[in-house]
Amino acid sequence: MNDVNHWIGQPLAALVSKESQVKIPMLLNNDASLNESDAIWRHINLTDHQGGIIPVRALYMTLQNGNDLMRCLVCRDLRSVQDLSNRFNSIQQDLQNENFELRASLQQKEQVLDAQTFNVEQIVGSMKQSTYAQVINETVQNLERECMRALLNEAAGDHQRAAKLAGCELQDWFNKAGALKIS
């Protein structure tokens, strides 16, 4: 109630914020009680007793009271909507920050993986020093490791979901992941 006591006896132009001053003529020239009116609710900002802002949707109309015409401004308080909007914007900002951090972390992990990847000369040199069976065995292990990492990545790090995607039991997944040094 403290918000509106200072409004009594004041002209409408004195009750609205500077930004809303330009909307007052449009509001008052659109009498919702007239048939030719488009009856549009206008967003205006009223000022409270401390100079703060109270966002409202306003509709102006004249009312007949016998021979007298009474001017009436109907307002819907939008503070709760504004609070929800502010909370939504805050949460959206938090999600954007989290998304940025996750992308940065992923990029960092990709750089680490790139640094750990053997180059072609190292692979060829290693193959020359190994038997054919050793090369095949190492190739199979590398392919299994990369496949398991891809499945784990697709499962967002959830080992149980990755095992399901691989079509194996969870214990078998963990046994294989341990043998291939996948965390």
Lowest mean pLDDT across 17-31, 52-66, 84-98, 129-143:
129-143
Give the start-to-end residue ranges of the domains of the chain.
Answer: 2-77, 79-117, 118-183
**8 A C-beta contact, residue 17 and residue 53:** yes
Tokens, residue 61:
């109309």
- DSSP calls for 63-81: EEETTEEEEEEEEEE-HHH
Q: What is the CB-side half-sphere exposure of residue 68 using CA atoms within 13 A?
A: 4
Predicted local distance difference test score (pLDDT) of residue 121: 64
Residues in contact with 64: Cβ distance below 8 Å, sequence separation at least 6, in sequence order? 70
Taking 80 as the threshold, does the pLDDT of residue 2 lie above it? no
**8 A C-beta contact, residue 24 and residue 16:** yes
Domain 118-183: give its CATH code. 1.10.10
Query: Tens digit of pLDDT for each residue in 16-52?
Result: 899 999 998 888 888 888 877 777 888 999 988 888 8
Query: Tens digit of pLDDT for each residue in 77-89?
Result: 999 998 999 999 9
Domains 2-77 and 118-183 belong to one CATH topology: no
Does the domain made of 2-77 have the CATH classification 3.30.450.20? yes
**8 A C-beta contact, residue 42 and residue 58:** yes
